[in-house]
């Protein structure tokens, strides 16, 4: 629209004197009379406004209230041009106390008056109120223009206020229209008005219009200031026109525009936002030629930009440069850099920066602080994490529930459950939000060390405080009980959890399956595995590894490989924890060649096996006495870059000892020494035990001396192996002296140590001394079922069966439970003596106590019944034996057939 057409449009909206009025004499006199009355009324109102009379009384009079119209108010405002504050009070009074509906013209007059008096705030407020009416911008401009004329003002400051009002109301395009109308009518908008327009357009994302208007404003003769220039640069950066933005900045510099650092900050921000951080740094570096210096905003923008591009090294350099210039970084920049360093694995640099930041009085936010503490704990830098936690108070940072939870989990991971519990009490005292997470960590920590009573106490405390346990809470407890083999409690917790609507996860099922495998309940483990899949809880690699390992340990290699094949078909990736039990299981069942084939097949498929897998194969070869094949495996390990550790050498040494090849043993030991390895307590004890088992006590004691020379202190297992060896060769005095030496070294004998003496004493028939030793074991709580069985066997061998039977009663009185061997040893001797009634009585007692007879016990009883002529009872025992899954051997069947035939022949004769 041209300037002339815009003027015509404005004139058409100006309500001036109607030139079509027909001035008839009567009407003209009437009109003059009305005007006089109007002027008198305005004068009256103006007098009230200027007078000292109460406005509430005077302006609420019938005369004023009945006659006051908007055009009267306009005239009063025009007369008050020299007292704009009074005009504003009058205007507001009518609005507040009389709910007077002011005309747009009244608003325009008052706004112009206020602006002329430099009262910009109330003027701006009035503009906001006026714009709520959503009047046409052309009409509004006309009203402003006419009121300006009536007031005799030449400045367009009131119109500037209108444009700025449109920008504040987010009607920027109307503001652009009014600005152009101003220019058409000879008014040049203020630079700050034009700057507001450009920034408003940027907020509207009308970046194309920003560029167009900036050039238009320059053609009007406007000298852009730094903020107008910044708005232009921002628009160009948003349009990704970075080269043009830099070119326009250079043009502004040459043309004499006074730019400040704000313009360059906008350019830097735009470049960083598009990851062009090198160009942004270059802008910062050339500021000096314009007599400017980068401020903290620019540095923080650059730091944040470089962090976004994962250039944490450059960000750190900028941070150091900034601090050297005594510029204070923002919390956002510091937090972003610290978190970036942490995420990139530079945890030490992140910690140093936090410590350094204390000097310039800024700290990362709590989220980042917690994240750094967590990373330090993950990297097992527990001391640094605790120091960082302790420094929070000096930074006015209050730890929250997340902070405490991280540290409690860390302490539990270190096994410091007492310290973790103290920290939990601090968390409660602090008033921070209580969540299940710290409790879960404590429960898990206690469960891992087998302290289930403490774990249950924490669980009770959690529920008492009204905190809802999670699947992790229950799974930790279930895992603890499964590790102990206490499956009844584990499943009780499982059903309690599901009863509360808490859905079990993969880990829950995995630990239950592990517990079932640990207790040899493989059928139940498989059923639970199927139940898991039916509930759409998908087994992962760990689940399969657990069930594969369980079957391998039980020798069910076929089923283990079925699970392995199923795992691969499901797309799960087997690892060394999958392969090791399979290799070990094949070796355990005597299929070492198949294990070798399996290993070769894995290598052909480019699977890299670790030392554990090869150690399993080594063990298999050594178990079969194939030490040469084991040595070939060792060579293969070296070729594949695998490290032969002490476990590997221990297996080899054990196999060589069993093979009885001293030269090879010396060669292996020399090879260990050449690699800088020294036999540890396990290897030395294994070698000593092998010599003791072979009865070569001289070599065993020589090895003990070598062990001492190497600085390797023997332990209770070492001494027990030697004592057991001495007892077997009948050298009890020397065994007793060694036991005294052991006690002098503050090493206490264990059950096996005492059992060695006990076994030899019973063999020699010295039952009085054996009973005395056993009493001493009872006092030290070292007596168990095995030690009682040794005594029972000793008494039975001396035909003191009644005393042996009394030991069964004493066992239970001392809290030790007899097993099948305890009962069957005595039953055998009763049967041998022909005392079948006592044998049957003891058999029934065994069944009542809940002990399940094995095949050997059945054999003894069946044979005794046959000898005593109790063939019916013998047959019943055989049937019971078969029902319970015990398989009779040839001797059992021979007794039954032989005595049945003998009875038949006797009856026939």
pLDDT tens track for 595-626: 899 999 988 888 888 888 888 888 888 888 88
Q: pLDDT grade, residue 899 (50/70/90)?
A: low
How would DSSP label each residue in 185-244?
TT----HHHHHHHHHHHHHTT-HHHHHHHHHHHHHTT----HHHHHHHHHHHHHTT-HHH
**Which residue from 222, 151, 149, 130 is spatially nearest to 183, judged by alpha carbons?**
222
CB atoms within 10 A of CB 828: 20
What is the structure's pLDDT at 26?
44
Whether 67 has a pLDDT exceeding 70, the answer reads yes
For 765-870, where are the alpha helices, taking DSSP H only? 767-779, 785-797, 801-813, 820-832, 836-848, 855-867
Whether 890 has a pLDDT exceeding 70, the answer reads no
Please state, in angstroms and rounded to a whole number, the distance separating the CA atoms of residues 366 and 403.
9
Residues 772-821 pLDDT 10s = 888 887 777 778 888 888 889 888 888 888 888 888 888 888 888 888 89
Whether 639 has a pLDDT exceeding 80, the answer reads yes
Separation in Å, CA 263 to CA 219, 270, 274, 281, 315: 21, 11, 17, 15, 22
Q: pLDDT grade, residue 898 (50/70/90)?
A: low
For 14-119, where are the alpha helices, taking DSSP H only? 25-50, 55-58, 62-67, 70-79, 84-97, 104-116
What is the structure's pLDDT at 900?
59
What is the structure's pLDDT at 7?
44
Whether 888 has a pLDDT exceeding 80, the answer reads no
Whether 442 has a pLDDT exceeding 90, the answer reads yes
Question: What phi and psi, each to the nearest 5 degrees, are found at residue 575?
Answer: -135, -170
Residues with Cβ within 8 Å of residue 795, at least 6 apart in sequence: 767, 801, 803, 804, 807
Q: pLDDT grade, residue 33 (50/70/90)?
A: low
Residues with Cβ within 8 Å of residue 411, at least 6 apart in sequence: 382, 417, 419, 420, 423, 445
Better-predicted residue by pLDDT, 900 or 390 = 390
The separation between CA 36 and the C-alpha centre of its own chain, rounded to angstroms, equals 86
For residue 743 the two structure tokens come to 């006690």
Separation in Å, CA 257 to CA 253, 293, 316: 6, 17, 34
Query: What SS3 state is found at 346?
Result: coil
What is the structure's pLDDT at 815?
82
CB atoms within 10 A of CB 442: 27
Work out whether the CA dihedral 730, 736, 742, 748 comes out positive or negative: positive
Whether 884 has a pLDDT exceeding 90, the answer reads no
Q: Tokens 């850099």, residue?
A: 337
Work out whether the CA dihedral 757, 816, 839, 856 comes out positive or negative: negative
Domain extents in the chain: 398-468, 471-574, 576-649
Please state, in angstroms and rounded to a whole number, the distance separating the CA atoms of residues 678 and 821.
42
Q: pLDDT grade, residue 679 (50/70/90)?
A: confident
In angstroms, the first-to-last Cα distance of the chain is: 143
What is the structure's pLDDT at 750?
78
Whether 771 has a pLDDT exceeding 90, the answer reads no
Please state, in angstroms and rounded to a whole number, the distance separating the CA atoms of residues 252 and 231.
13
What is the structure's pLDDT at 167?
94
Query: What SS3 state is found at 816?
Result: coil
**Which residue from 902, 825, 903, 891 is spatially nearest to 859, judged by alpha carbons?**
891
For residue 750 the two structure tokens come to 């264990």
Contact predicate 239/248, CB 8 Å: no
Please state, in angstroms and rounded to a whole number, the distance separating the CA atoms of residues 151 and 154.
9
Mean pLDDT of 124-152: 92
Contact predicate 759/727, CB 8 Å: yes
What is the structure's pLDDT at 896?
63
Better-predicted residue by pLDDT, 895 or 188 = 188
Mean pLDDT of 99-112: 91
Please state, in angstroms and rounded to a whole number, the distance separating the CA atoms of residues 190 and 222.
9
What is the structure's pLDDT at 366?
87
Find the largest Cα–Cα distance for the chain: 172
Number of residues written out for the chain: 909
For residue 564 the two structure tokens come to 């392995």
Please state, in angstroms and rounded to a whole number, the distance separating the CA atoms of residues 116 and 883.
113
CA neighbours within 13 Å on the CB side: how many for 289?
Answer: 9
Q: pLDDT grade, residue 644 (50/70/90)?
A: confident
Separation in Å, CA 292 to CA 265, 284, 288, 379: 12, 10, 5, 44
What is the structure's pLDDT at 557?
92
Overall fold of domain 471-574: 1.25.40
The separation between CA 704 and the C-alpha centre of its own chain, rounded to angstroms, equals 50
What is the structure's pLDDT at 882?
81
Whether 749 has a pLDDT exceeding 60, the answer reads yes
Please state, in angstroms and rounded to a whole number, the distance separating the CA atoms of residues 893 and 896.
5
Encode 175-203: b = buried (16+ Cβ within 10 Å), e = exposed.
bbbbbbbbbbbebbbbeebbbbbbbbbbe
Mean pLDDT of 818-832: 88
Residues with Cβ within 8 Å of residue 660, at least 6 apart in sequence: none
Please state, in angstroms and rounded to a whole number, the distance separating the CA atoms of residues 59 and 99.
13
Lowest mean pLDDT among 16-25, 274-283, 301-310, 315-324: 16-25
Please state, in angstroms and rounded to a whole number, the distance separating the CA atoms of residues 390 and 368.
16
Mean pLDDT of 507-512: 96
Residues 248-301 pLDDT 10s = 888 888 887 778 888 889 999 999 988 898 999 988 888 877 778 889 899 999
Contact predicate 619/585, CB 8 Å: no
- The secondary structure of the chain in percent helix, strand, coil, rounded to multiples of 5, reads 75, 0, 25
Q: Tokens 């942004």, residue?
A: 280
Q: pLDDT grade, residue 860 (50/70/90)?
A: confident
Please state, in angstroms and rounded to a whole number, the distance separating the CA atoms of residues 154 and 292.
39
Kindly report the average pLDDT of the chain as a whole number. 85
Mean pLDDT of 744-754: 80
Rounded to the nearest 10 degrees, what angle do helices 296-308 and 261-273 cross at?
10
Burial class, 134, CB count within 10 angstroms (exposed 0-12 / middle 13-18 / buried 19+): exposed
Which helix or strand (DSSP H or E) is residue 717 part of? helix 716-728
Please state, in angstroms and rounded to a whole number, the distance separating the CA atoms of residues 757 and 734.
11
Mean pLDDT of 743-751: 80
Mean pLDDT of 378-400: 85
Q: pLDDT grade, residue 902 (50/70/90)?
A: low
Please state, in angstroms and rounded to a whole number, the distance separating the CA atoms of residues 270 and 244.
12
Mean pLDDT of 700-707: 85
**Which residue from 349, 339, 264 is spatially nearest to 308, judged by alpha carbons?**
339
Mean pLDDT of 491-499: 94
Contact predicate 172/204, CB 8 Å: yes
Which helix or strand (DSSP H or E) is residue 737 part of? helix 732-744
Separation in Å, CA 148 to CA 151, 523, 680: 5, 98, 103
Whether 730 has a pLDDT exceeding 50, the answer reads yes
């Amino acid at each position: 629209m041209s300037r002339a057409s815009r003027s015509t449009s404005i004139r058409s909206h100006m309500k001036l004197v109607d030139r079509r009025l027909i001035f008839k004499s009567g009407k003209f006199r009437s009109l003059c009379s009305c005007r006089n009355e109007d002027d008198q009324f305005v004068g009256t109102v103006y007098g009230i406004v200027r007078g000292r009379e109460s406005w509430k009384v005077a302006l609420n009079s019938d005369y004023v209230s009945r006659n006051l119209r908007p055009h009267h108010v306009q005239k009063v405002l025009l007369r008050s041009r020299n007292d704009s504050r009074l005009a504003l009070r009058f205007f507001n009074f009518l609005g507040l106390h009389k709910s007077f509906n002011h005309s747009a013209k009244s608003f325009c007059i008052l706004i112009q008056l206020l602006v002329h008096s430099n009262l910009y705030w109330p003027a701006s407020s009035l503009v906001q109120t006026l714009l709520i009416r959503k009047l046409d911008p052309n009409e509004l401009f006309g009203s402003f223009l006419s009121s300006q004329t009536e007031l005799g003002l030449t400045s367009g400051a009131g119109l500037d206020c209108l444009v700025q009002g449109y920008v504040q109301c987010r009607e920027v395009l109307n503001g652009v229209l009014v600005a152009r109308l101003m220019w058409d009518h000879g008014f040049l908008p203020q630079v700050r008005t034009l700057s507001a327009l450009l920034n408003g357009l940027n907020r509207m994302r009308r970046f194309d219009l920003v560029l167009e208007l900036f050039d238009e404003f320059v053609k009007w003769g406007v000298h852009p200031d730094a903020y107008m220039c910044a708005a232009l640069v921002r628009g160009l950066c948003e349009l990704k026109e970075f080269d043009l933005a830099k070119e326009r900045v250079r043009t502004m510099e040459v043309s004499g525009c006074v730019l400040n650092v704000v313009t360059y900050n906008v350019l830097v921000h735009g470049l960083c936002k598009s990851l062009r951080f090198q160009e942004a740094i270059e802008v910062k570096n050339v500021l000096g030629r314009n007599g400017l210096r980068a401020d903290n905003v620019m540095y923080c923008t650059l730091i944040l930009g470089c962090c976004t591009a994962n250039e944490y090294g450059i960000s750190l350099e900028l941070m150091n440069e900034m601090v050297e210039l005594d510029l204070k970084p923002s919390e956002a920049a510091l937090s972003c850099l610290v978190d970036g360093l942490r995420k990139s694995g530079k945890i030490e640099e992140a910690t140093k920066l936090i410590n350094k930041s204390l000097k310039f009085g800024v700290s990362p936010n709590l989220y980042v602080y917690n994240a750094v503490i967590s990373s330090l704990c993950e990297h097992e830098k527990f001391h640094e994490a605790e120091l960082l936690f302790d420094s929070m108070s000096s930074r006015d940072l209050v730890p929250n529930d997340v902070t405490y939870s991280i540290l409690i989990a860390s302490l539990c991971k270190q096994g410091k459950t007492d310290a973790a519990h103290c920290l939990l009490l601090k968390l409660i005292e602090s008033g921070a939000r209580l969540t299940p997470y710290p409790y879960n960590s404590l429960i898990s920590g206690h469960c891992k060390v087998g302290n289930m009573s403490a774990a249950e106490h924490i669980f009770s405390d959690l529920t008492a405080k009204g905190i809802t346990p999670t699947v992790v809470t229950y799974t930790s407890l279930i895992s603890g009980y499964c590790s102990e083999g206490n499956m009844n409690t584990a499943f009780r917790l499982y059903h309690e959890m599901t009863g509360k609507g808490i859905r079990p996860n993969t880990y829950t099922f995995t630990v239950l399956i592990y517990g079932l495998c640990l207790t040899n309940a493989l059928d139940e483990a498989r059923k639970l595995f199927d139940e898991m899949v039916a509930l759409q809880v998908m087994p992962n690699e760990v689940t399969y590894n657990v069930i594969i390992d369980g079957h391998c340990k039980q020798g069910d290699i076929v089923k283990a490989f079925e699970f392995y094949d199923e795992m691969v078909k499901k797309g799960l990736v087997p690892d060394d924890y999958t392969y090791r039990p399979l290799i070990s299981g094949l070796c355990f069942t005597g299929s070492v060649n198949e294990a070798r084939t399996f290993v070769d097949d894995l290598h052909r498929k480019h699977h890299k096996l670790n030392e554990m897998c090869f150690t399993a194969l080594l063990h298999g070869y050594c178990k079969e006495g194939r030490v040469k094949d084991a040595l070939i495996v060792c060579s293969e390990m070296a070729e594949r870059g695998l490290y032969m550790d002490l476990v590997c050498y221990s297996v080899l040494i054990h196999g060589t000892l069993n093979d009885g090849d001293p030269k090879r043993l010396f060669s292996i030991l020399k090879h260990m020494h050449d690699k800088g390895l020294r036999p540890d307590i396990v290897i030395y004890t294994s070698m000593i035990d092998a010599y003791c088992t072979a009865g070569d006590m001289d070599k065993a004691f020589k090895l003990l001396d070598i062990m001492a020379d190497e600085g390797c202190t023997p332990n209770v297992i070492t001494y027990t192996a030697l004592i057991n060896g001495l007892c077997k060769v009948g050298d009890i005095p020397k065994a007793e002296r060694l036991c005294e030496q052991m006690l002098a070294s503050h090493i206490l004998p264990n059950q096996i140590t005492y059992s060695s003496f006990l076994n030899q004493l019973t063999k020699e028939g010295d039952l009085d001394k054996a009973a005395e030793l056993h009493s001493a074991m009872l006092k030290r709580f070292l007596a168990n079922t095995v030690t009682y069985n040794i005594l029972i066997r000793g008494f039975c061998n001396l035909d003191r069966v009644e005393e042996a039977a009394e030991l069964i009663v004493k066992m239970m009185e001392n809290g030790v439970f007899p097993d099948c061997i305890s009962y069957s040893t005595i039953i055998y001797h009763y049967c041998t003596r022909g005392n079948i009634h006592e044998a049957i009585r003891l058999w029934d007692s065994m069944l009542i106590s809940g002990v399940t007879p094995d095949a050997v016990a059945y054999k003894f009883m069946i044979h005794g019944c046959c000898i005593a002529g109790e063939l019916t009872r013998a047959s019943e025992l055989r049937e019971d034996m078969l029902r319970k899954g015990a398989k009779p051997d040839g001797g059992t069947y021979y007794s039954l057939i032989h005595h049945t035939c003998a009875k038949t022949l006797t009856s026939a004769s």
